[in-house]
Amino acid sequence: MYLKLVLGVERDASQRQIQKAFHKLSLQYHPDKNKNKGAEEKFAEINNAYDILSDEEKRKNYDLYGDEKGNARFESGNPGGHEGYTHFTSGGPGNSHFSFDPSEWQTTGGQGNSKSFSFSFGGNPSASGSSFGFDVNDIFSNFFGGVMGGGSQFGGFGGSSRTRSQPTSSKNIQAVNSLVFKNEILEQGITWILLSYVPSSKGYHVLESIVEEVASQLQGALKAGSINCQKDQSLCKELGLHSRKSTQVFVYSYKSSDKGTVAEYNGALEAKSLKSFCQDQLPRFSRRVNVAHFDYTLTNVENLPRVLLLSTKKDTPVIWRALSGLYRRRIMFYDAEVHDVFDPAVKSLGVDALPAVVGWLSNGEKHVLKTGITVKDLKSAISELSGILDKFEKKSKKTASSQPKSSQQTDTDEKHLPLLTKSNLDSVCGESTPVCVIGAFRSSNGKEMLESILSTVSKKSLTRRQNQVSGSEDSISFSLLDANKQQEFLNSMDKTSFKSKDNSLVAYKPRKGKFAAFTNVLTLDEVERFIGAVLNGDVRFSKMKRKPVLK
C-alpha cells in the first residue's frame, strides 16, 4: 500500500486514477515549479511510485508481494510460519543474495518439523560460501536449457544484473530514431509531439503522462514520439533539439509551409495548455472563404481537385486542418462558415444538411461528397473523410487523363512570353484582360529565370471556365518587362519593396487599376501558389498611384 499512499489513491485504483493522481502531484512537486526544501525528493518518490504502478507486471508484483521496487517473490512449501517454506526474494540489483544452511538442505520443503531456508536473487557473484548471483528477470527465460558456468550462475540462471538506461516509453509514444523520422514523419504532413531527452533528463514521466493524454485526445490529427538525443545525436542536431537536464517537448508540423518545422513548447505542465499549443501548430493549408462570393467556376493553377467544408464553426475545424496537411499538394482545401442550408449560396451547391463537404474535379465538375457529417471521435472522423477524399482524388485523376489537350494550351506551349512594350500593351495587358502577370527583370539571367518559371506556369490550366451565360472567356495573361527601360511602369505602383529588385513579379488588373506584388522567393512552387491565390481571390490588391506608362 505504501506506493499507493504516495500517490494518494485507493488500493483498487484504476490505471486512469493512478495517472491522474501522478499528473496532479508531479505538477505540484516538479523541481522547476517547486523550490521548497524536500520537493525534489518528493518528486523522485512520486516518479518511482508511478513507474511501478503504471507498469502492469511491476504493479502485479507489488500488489501480490508488496515489494516497493516491483520485483517478484515466490514462496512454496507448507503454509504456516516459516517451517517448510522456500523463500525466493528479489531485493534489486546489488542488494540481494542467495543463502541457506547446508546442514538443513535435505529437510527443505518437508512437512511437520521440517526446516526451511530462504534465498534471494541478484547477489554478488564474486562472494564466497553460500552466495550465488543471477538476474530475476531471466528466471523464466533461462530456467530451461540455461548454461551453467562460473560462480555467477546457479541452476541455469544468468548472473548479470540489469539497469535501465533510459525511460520506459508508453505504448502510445513511439520511439523515434533517424530511420523512423525519415520513413514516418518527414514529408508525411502529419503533426507530431516529440519528447527529447537523454537518460539523465529529469521529468520524463511527468511529460510522458501529459503528452500521452494530449495524443489520446487528438488521436488521428497527430502522433506522439520520443527521441533519445544521446543515442541519436545526428537527428537531434538536424532538428535543432539541444540536450538539457530536463526533458523537452517539441511539435513537428507543417503549419504554414510544405517544409516541416519544429516549435518548442514552453507553456505550463498541463494537458490543456499543451493541447492548445498543438492545435495551434496543426497545418493551415485550408483557405477560409465567403461562400456567397467564392467563384466555383475557377480552375486552379495546380490543376488539382478542390474541396470545400461548410460548417457552423467560426474557425477552421481541427479535423479539416489535419486533413489539409495530409493532402497538401494533392487537393486544394477551403472552408466556410454557414448556418442555414436554406441560404441561397448553400442551397445552390445541393447541400441538404450541415456540416457538408463539396468537391470540384480538376475539370470543374461539382460533387457533393458528404452531408450531415457526425463526429464520434477525431480518429474515426479523419479516417472516414480520408476514404472519401482518396476516392475523389482518384476520380479527378481519371477525369483529367481522359481530357484532350486544348488547342489554346497547345498554342501556349509553342510560343515564348511577350516582352511588354507601349505597342503591345493593349493587346497583351489591356482592359480586356482581367489579370496580367508581369515578370520584371534587370539582367539576362533574370530574364531567363522568369521566362522559364512563367512559361511553365502558363502551360497549366490557368484560364477561368467559360461563362455559360455570356459565352465570354475570362483569362489571365503572362508577359515580361525590362525594368531597366520601363522603370516608369513600376514607379506607378507605390511599392518600393520590389521596384529595385533584380527580378520581381506583379499581378496587375488593368480594368480596376490595381496591383499585387509577389514578395516571396522566386521559385516555381511559390509562383504557382501566388497565381493560384490571385485567381481564387485570396490576394489583396492595392490601388496604383497612376495609370502605368510604357516606352
Q: Identify the pLDDT of residue 246.
A: 80
Here the cell at position 465 is: 471556365
Answer whether residue 113 shows pLDDT above 90. no
SS3 102: helix
d(CA 81, CA 49): 30
Q: Identify the pLDDT of residue 314.
A: 92
Q: Identify the pLDDT of residue 11.
A: 72
Q: Which of the given ranges, 67-81, 369-383, 530-544, has the highest pLDDT on average?
A: 369-383
Phi, then psi, of 359 in degrees rounded to 5:
-130, 155
Spatial neighbors of 112 by CB under 8 A, at least 6 apart, are 83, 84
Phi, then psi, of 168 in degrees rounded to 5:
-85, 115
Q: How confident is the model at residue 211 (pLDDT cuts 50, 70, 90)?
A: very high
The sign of the dihedral angle between the CA atoms of 453, 459, 465, 470 is positive
Pairing of strands 85-90, 73-77: antiparallel
333 Cα distance to chain centroid: 18
Are 34 and 73 spatial neighbours (Cβ–Cβ below 8 Å)?
Answer: no
More confident residue, 383 or 30: 383
**454-484, pLDDT tens digit by residue?**
888 887 644 433 333 333 334 688 999 888 8
Here the cell at position 363 is: 475539370
Amino acid (one-letter) located at 458: S
Task: Choose the weakest-confidence range: 78-87, 306-315, 360-369, 479-488.
Answer: 78-87
Q: Which string of b and e fits 273-286 if b means at least 16 CB within 10 Å? A: ebbebbbebbbbbb
Same fold, 2-65 and 174-281: no
SS3 193: strand
Please, which residues bridge with residue 334 across strands? 287, 308
Residue with cell 523520422: 181
Q: Identify the pLDDT of residue 245.
A: 73
Are 364 and 374 spatial neighbours (Cβ–Cβ below 8 Å)?
Answer: no
Task: Choose the weakest-confidence range: 40-49, 213-222, 481-490.
Answer: 40-49
Q: State the average pLDDT over residues 208-235.
A: 91
Please, which residues bridge with residue 71 across strands? none
Give percent above pLDDT 70 in the chain.
69
411 Cα distance to chain centroid: 44
Answer whether residue 90 shows pLDDT above 70. no
Q: How confident is the model at residue 356 (pLDDT cuts 50, 70, 90)?
A: very high
Edge-to-edge strands, sheet with 85-90: 73-77, 85-90, 117-121
Residue 337's Cβ-count burial label (10 Å; 0-12, 13-18, 19+) is middle
The sign of the dihedral angle between the CA atoms of 101, 103, 109, 113 is negative
Q: How confident is the model at residue 352 (pLDDT cuts 50, 70, 90)?
A: very high
Got the DSSP string for 360-403? E-TT--EEEEEES---S-HHHHHHHHHHHHHHHHHHHHHHHHHS
Q: State the average pLDDT over residues 327-335.
A: 90
d(CA 185, CA 318): 19
d(CA 302, CA 121): 68
Annotated domain spans of the chain:
2-65, 73-141, 174-281, 286-402, 409-543
The sign of the dihedral angle between the CA atoms of 521, 526, 531, 534 is negative
Q: State the average pLDDT over residues 7-26.
A: 77
Q: Identify the pLDDT of residue 87.
A: 44
Q: State the average pLDDT over residues 106-117.
A: 41
Q: State the average pLDDT over residues 28-41.
A: 77
Nearest to 539 by CA among 526, 548, 530, 547: 530
The architecture in CATH of the region 409-543 reads 3-Layer(aba) Sandwich (3.40)
Q: Identify the pLDDT of residue 65.
A: 56
Residue with cell 492595392: 542
d(CA 41, CA 48): 11
d(CA 346, CA 338): 8
pTM, full prediction: 0.51
Say if domain 2-65 classifies as CATH 2.60.40.2240: no
27 Cα distance to chain centroid: 25
- The CATH T-level fold of domain 174-281 is Glutaredoxin (3.40.30)
| Cis peptide upstream of residue 355 (ω within 30 degrees of 0) | yes
- The CATH T-level fold of domain 286-402 is Glutaredoxin (3.40.30)
The sign of the dihedral angle between the CA atoms of 61, 67, 69, 74 is negative
Q: How confident is the model at residue 333 (pLDDT cuts 50, 70, 90)?
A: very high
**271-320, pLDDT tens digit by residue?**
999 999 999 999 988 988 888 877 665 555 557 899 999 999 999 999 99
How high is the mean pLDDT of the chain?
A: 74
CB half-sphere exposure, 462, CA atoms < 13 A: 26
d(CA 516, CA 529): 14
> Cα–Cα distances in Å, from 399 out to 32, 55, 488?
59, 54, 46
Q: Identify the pLDDT of residue 407.
A: 42
More confident residue, 184 or 168: 184
Q: Which of the given ranges, 134-143, 215-224, 539-548, has the highest pLDDT on average?
A: 215-224
